Structure 1
Amino acid sequence: MKSKGKYVPMLLLTLLLWVAWQQQWWKGPQHQPRVSAYNNTSITRTDKEKETVAANSPAKLNRHAPLKYTRHAKCRMDCRHVTEKEVVEILETGTVNTEKSNPLDEPCPTYALEGYSEEGQHLRVVFAPCEDTTSVVTCIDLDEDWSCSCN
């Protein structure tokens, strides 16, 4: 009978460790990440943020708006051999990368669209729609690392 008694503390410790592992106490409180504004799932935002996200969702991105190229975008396009025609192709047919987009950017939201041009380049182009025009912020070749000295 005495030999059974010495295993009780070990069983209790094992049980306690198992419960701790199940609850993951050592990781502290788990915070839910903010869900992308593009998903239909509920997100924790203020009412004002919800209105802003709804107003600036990719569905509101005018894929046929006149484009204005920033100096930085022109430089990146030149370095990476990307034409204005290719930028327009990505705007019209590209898919939104929600990880690289920020619909809450000020003064204008930014959307990173990705796709392949007719010439076969895998591109990410960041657009910032503001009022009646859309600015091209930057252009990235996702398959090739071009040397560039743009500021």
Structure 2
Amino acid sequence: MSDTPAPQPDTSDESIDRDVPDLESLVGTWLTVPDAAELIGVPLSHVRQLIADREVLAARIGERRVAAIPAKFLDETGPRPELRGTFTVLADGGMDDDEIIAWLHTPDATLPVEGAPIDAILAGFKTEVRRRAQELAL
């Protein structure tokens, strides 16, 4: 037996982030809260409430860690209604907001359309994407 202590897991930021995709580049186009408010023509407080109500999800990105929403989560009229249920299914399966955003934007060649689950939802395949999301929770 050795008196050498067992190696401790590396808890530096580098090791924590190693398995998490770079959300900023994975998503591509983001809207800051002010940009989202301008796009849909509402006050900043309304966009913050949409985030709080989980109508859209946001992540902290960039060097300044500003809250931003993936651009595909909104159109000129507001949050895309077909996303809220998918957010709920994935959250119920144990994913946090960053993981949900990453899953929705990660390309998947097995989907009925080319691209990521978010692209399939926007192309009208919401049910197929939710079915896959539910399978993750099993």
Question: So what's the TM-score if we normalise by structure 2?
Answer: 0.28
- Which structure features the higher share of helix residues? 2
Larger radius of gyration: 1
More strand by share: 1
